Amino acid sequence: QSGLTQPASVSGSPGQSITISCTGIINDVGTYNLISWYQQFPGKAPQVVIYELTERPSGISNRFSGSKSGNTASLTISGLRTEDEADYYCSSYTDRSNFVVFGGGTKLTVL
Amino acid sequence: QVQLQQWGAGLLKPSETLSLTCAVYGGSFNGYYWGWIRQPPGKGLECIGETNTNGDTNYNPSLKSRVIISVDTSKSQFSLRLSSLTAADTAMYYCARVVLTSHYFDVWGKGTTVTVSS
């Protein structure tokens, strides 16, 4: 089962905005808005920060936003803070297996 | 507030069977889907499978031949069995609640480290 493609790392300075891409195919990202983003700190379980492409769970800062163009979804974090430094994973429903597929993860460094 | 507590053997030998259980506290168990996700050391996340409280299951095709996920509604628990283990199954294993309509995991357990080594 092929996964989604994310950059291995991105970086930014406090106050800046960064975008993490997540590329799939027509069977997942390209057709469905069932795209989620997870934040994971070292040694901790992931936490969802975006679901259904653009929705934020209660308690998640509005600095986190999601979007999509074609087969590529994106997570944007604006007003970058040092506490945003973490690994970020995208996921999408795929109709190839009626299941969920994850991206390989992106390490965000806040310089 | 829903909390998931998971447990199971952490060190196994090749060819053995992994067995993990996850208990749900502080919220409704019935009417939801519950899943297992794993993360090899230094690598990304992989969905293993999910079940609802009726016992309907959905498995990752790449693991389907070796996986059984079961549910015990009387105890608000669900379990994972993964057979014929190899070193490639070494990972952190998480249980989680599934929001099926949106296909995401909204509540996670803390994780259990499973090492497969002879």
pLDDT in tens, A73-82: 999 999 999 9
- Would the CB atoms of A102 and B62 count as touching at under 8 Å? no
Asked if B41 has any chain A CB less than 8 Å from its own CB, the reply is no
Average pLDDT, chain B: 95
Backbone angles phi, psi at B104, to 5 degrees: -140, 165
Whether pLDDT at B49 is above 90 = yes
What type of residue sits at position B8? G
Percentage of chain A exceeding pLDDT 70: 98
Q: Which structure tokens are listed for B59?
A: 């498995």
Given a contact cutoff of 8 angstroms between Cβ atoms, the answer to whether A80 and A15 are in contact is yes
Distance CA(A3)–CA(A23), nearest Å, equals 9
Instruction: Point out the residue among A3, A93, A105 whose CB comes nearest to the CB of B103.
Output: A93
Give the H/E segment covering residue B47: strand B46-52
Across A64-87, average pLDDT: 98
Residue A97's pLDDT band (cuts 50, 70, 90): confident
- Would the CB atoms of A99 and B58 count as touching at under 8 Å? yes
pLDDT of residue A103: 96
DSSP character at residue A5: B
Task: Find chain A residues with C-beta within 8 A of B111's C-beta.
Answer: 45
> Which candidate, B71, B30, B102, B29, places its Cα nearest to that of A55?
B102
Task: Find chain A residues with C-beta within 8 A of B103's C-beta.
Answer: 34, 36, 91-93, 100
